[in-house]
Amino acid sequence: MPSTEKFYLTTPIYYVNARPHIGHAYTTIVADVIARRHRLLGHDTRFLTGTDEHGQKIERSALAAGIPPQQFTDEVSREFRQLWDRMGLTYDDYIRTTEPRHKIGAQKLFADLHARGQIYLSTYTGQYSVGEEIFVEGPPGVLGPDGRPTETVTEENFFFKLSEYQLPLIDLIESDGLHIQSESRKNEVLSFLRGNLVEARESGSAIGTSKLGNQYVIGALRDLSVSRSSFTWGIPVPEPAASETQQKHIIYVWLDALANYMTAVGYGSDKPEDKACFERYWPADVHLMSKEITRQHCIYWPAFLMAAKLPTPKSVTAHGWLLFEESKMSKSKGNIVRAETVLDAFGEHVYGKQFPDSTKHERDLFSADVLRYHLLREIPFGQDGSFSFDAMITRYNADLANGYGNLASRTLSLIVQNLDGIVPSVSAPQSAETDAVINELLSFSEIDAHYESSRFDQLTQTISARIKTVDVYLSSHAPWKLAKSEDPADLQKMVEVLYTAAESIRILTALLFPFLPNATAKVWAQLGLGDIEAAARNGELNNLAWGGLKPGTPLGTLSPIFPRADKGLAQIMTEVEASAPSTKPATEQPAAETTPAPAVIETAPEPTVTGPADASPQITIDDFAKVELRVAQVLVCERIPKADKLLRLEVDLGYEKRQILSGIAEWYTPEEMIGRKIVVITNLAPRKMRGLESHGMLLAASEGEGGKPVLATFGEEIAVGSRLK
């Protein structure tokens, strides 16, 4: 029976400027885990993904390739969908912004906003980043977020009255009406909405107060261009707005793209079934994405919806960036890791070696489990994380081959050898050691808390610890030795231990199902329990109680679950990536993506306070020229747990973003730092502190030893990324 409780989850729709890579896979895997979890809880779950296919960047790439933009987008979107299917991801819908259903809905949203007086026609001259499809403040040629020079654009545009929603947005987010996860992302968005309070106080600008008593700079949020007239690849602005202009206008790619979350559930359609679908599933419960597009989803999108008198999404959950071998993934650099490399390597050289008669589909699903588990186990959700082939092989062997897989194989093989493959009956009472194992396995509050806060690394770590508990229990009681005894008490103990281990495996398998759907399906079948997908639908994986593995149940056919992986597999994957064709379409010029999957923040060392000028030896102008000083703006600032003196900052250098650790927590609060323009030494070698890499140094001065460091800043407006000379 369908649940009365619905759960609507979306990934970002991926921009088709490049083929999918492991960053896209990470986002979609997380969404799949969340969707599987809600389905087994009995919720009416809808999981959406898809591709974003309009914009100037796509039009130019298609022109350079000599093919129509639609053909260009068809090819790349197909690759995304084929990869998700190859990995067994359980999305319920796949939206493309070139589909008729999306065009109808996007035009309806634009027309509705226009009819409500929320969109007006004007002219704009400014710097446009083609790579990111956004306008950028600064002089002509200023570097955009993708590190490339912007273009000066003068054109007639329709504008959305975003400025009217500054206070409503602040109140919505502060009250958690729109819940933003993590806290640092929430602070970043609020900092942008509140404006630069330090400068406002100095200049005497008007300052307002939110419902929760927090100050903001009135007028800090500007109106937003929501159409383009300098190119044609996009959804046409609908009537009657279209008749107001002499030129053809298309809907700005961000208004177009964001509307997908509603058009995919029927918004804009006149069909009764589509209207019912929209009423059922909107608003979205979770928009899942990478952190660099949080602003568009937490400012533009809820403002559009409030203006259209539509419900806003319940939450936006942003994950961090992914590093490969501790360096930045970049499509233009060509050092992107493809998910296909992992699927092929583990499928052929691990699973295929153990099961040479297996199908490609079976090998793909096995390898997808390996990738899923590694990404979720190794990368703390919401933070930046590293990916490496060596680490993946080590984690696979430790947790899956030697851990979960070995426990299942040992236990079930012993039942086959000593109990004819039949689940035994256990007499009460059981030993204290057995009761301790049962109590630990049936403690689900920690599991639920990790799910609620998206702490997938801690969740898998918790399950892994329980696997070790059962493994230690099995080894310490050595049922293989008890089986050789003629003492009835020893034989009864053997039965107790083997049943306890087998029933523990059932519970552990249910807990691991969202993470390892293919492997857990095999273990479930070997336990004699049938189809795990059916069990999930029937609620058997929820509200787990001891005793679900019924005595007398015959086990299924046993076979290895996780064959060991050789360390040499890392070299194979490295060579495959080195010889692989570019991750972008062969016809496409390098470009940054509009809805990026994880890339990397580069990081930096703790700033030091300079001493008196006469305390340092003289240097030449050539020495000074080696030091690169640039203007940076603080986007995110937060304290580091158990480090009283350190703050972790994410700064915008114009051409890239970096992480810097700074020992100024004694004098500056995170709230004071966000939005500041500071001076950063950018060409220092990175170093690690408190397990975090830091790449850069803040420039500051102080009076005497131990005096407060005063950060170097500017009395006049200066563009982010400008170099000090």
Q: DSSP assignment, residue 379?
A: S
Residues 661/648, Cβ–Cβ less than 8 Å: yes
Domain closes at, from 490, 506, 537: 537
Residue 3 has a pLDDT of 58
DSSP-assigned letters across all residues of 419-447: HTTBPPP-PSPPPHHHHHHHHHHT--HHH
Q: DSSP assignment, residue 149?
A: B
Give me the residue label for tokens 């002509």.
140
Q: Does 711 reside within a domain?
A: yes
Q: Do 518 and 656 fall within a single domain?
A: no
Phi-psi region of 228 (alpha: psi -120 to 50; beta: other; left: phi over 0): beta
Q: DSSP assignment, residue 162?
A: G
Distance CA 329, CA 16 (A): 17
CATH of the domain at 508: 1.10.730.10
Angle between the N-to-C axes of helices 360-378 and 22-40, in degrees from 0 to 180, rounded to the nearest 10 = 90
Q: Does 245 reside within a domain?
A: no
User: How many CB atoms lie under 10 A from the CB of residue 201?
Assistant: 12
Q: Do 507 and 632 fall within a single domain?
A: no
Residues 264/93, Cβ–Cβ less than 8 Å: yes
Opening angle at CA 374, ends 368 and 376, nearest 5: 100
* Tokens describing residue 204: 């005497």
Distance CA 413, CA 164 (A): 68
Residues 526/494, Cβ–Cβ less than 8 Å: no
Give kind and range of the element (H or E) at residue 492: helix 488-512
Q: Do 514 and 397 fall within a single domain?
A: yes
Side chain identity at residue 568, one-letter code:
G
Distance CA 331, CA 303 (A): 32
* Tokens describing residue 406: 């070995």
Q: Which of 80, 99, 60, 35 is CA-nearest to residue 232?
A: 60
User: For the chain, which residues score pLDDT lower than 50?
Assistant: 1-2, 328, 332-333, 583-616
User: How many CB atoms lie under 10 A from the CB of residue 321?
Assistant: 24
DSSP-assigned letters across all residues of 216-260: EETT-SPPEE-EE-S---SPBPPTTGGGG-SS--EE-HHHHHHTH
Neighbouring residues of 622: CB distance < 8 A, sequence distance ≥ 6: none
Partnered with residue 323 across adjacent β-strands are: 328, 386
Q: Do 378 and 484 fall within a single domain?
A: yes
* Tokens describing residue 225: 């261009």
* Tokens describing residue 444: 């689900």
Q: Does 259 reside within a domain?
A: no
Q: Do 516 and 619 fall within a single domain?
A: no
Q: Do 368 and 444 fall within a single domain?
A: yes
Distance CA 597, CA 725 (A): 35
Residues 79/19, Cβ–Cβ less than 8 Å: yes
Neighbouring residues of 344: CB distance < 8 A, sequence distance ≥ 6: 367, 576
Coil/strand/helix, residue 636? strand
Q: Does 199 reside within a domain?
A: no
Q: Do 364 and 494 fall within a single domain?
A: yes
Distance CA 261, CA 268 (A): 12
Partnered with residue 9 across adjacent β-strands are: 47, 286
Q: Do 511 and 615 fall within a single domain?
A: no
Residue 620 has a pLDDT of 62
Coil/strand/helix, residue 582? coil
CA 232 to chain centre: 32
CATH of the domain at 612: 2.40.50.140
Q: Do 487 and 634 fall within a single domain?
A: no
Residue 623 has a pLDDT of 61
Dihedral angle over CA of 222, 225, 230, 231, nearest 10: 140
Residues 290/319, Cβ–Cβ less than 8 Å: yes
Sign of CA dihedral 295, 298, 301, 306: negative
DSSP-assigned letters across all residues of 87-127: TT---SEEEETTSHHHHHHHHHHHHHHHHTT-EEEEEEEEE
Q: Do 500 and 606 fall within a single domain?
A: no
Opening angle at CA 136, ends 135 and 142, nearest 5: 130
Distance CA 549, CA 558 (A): 17
Dihedral angle over CA of 693, 699, 704, 709, nearest 10: -80
Phi, psi for residue 247 in degrees, rounded to 5: -100, 160
User: How many CB atoms lie under 10 A from the CB of residue 217?
Assistant: 22
Domain membership of residue 635 as a residue range: 602-724
Domain closes at, from 537, 568, 591: 537
Q: DSSP assignment, residue 375?
A: H
Residues 709/667, Cβ–Cβ less than 8 Å: yes
Give me the residue label for tokens 């801690």.
458
Q: Does 504 reside within a domain?
A: yes
Q: How many domains does the structure of the chain reveal?
A: 2
Sign of CA dihedral 183, 189, 194, 197: positive
Q: Does 529 reside within a domain?
A: yes
Residue 589 has a pLDDT of 31
* Tokens describing residue 230: 């300098």
Q: Does 237 reside within a domain?
A: no
Q: Does 635 reside within a domain?
A: yes
Domain closes at, from 486, 508, 537: 537
182 preceded by a cis bond (ω within 30 of 0): yes
Using CB atoms within 10 A of its CB, is residue 422 exposed (0-12), middle (13-18) or buried (19+)?
middle
Q: Do 521 and 612 fall within a single domain?
A: no
Residue 639 has a pLDDT of 81
Q: Do 644 and 513 fall within a single domain?
A: no
Coil/strand/helix, residue 544? coil
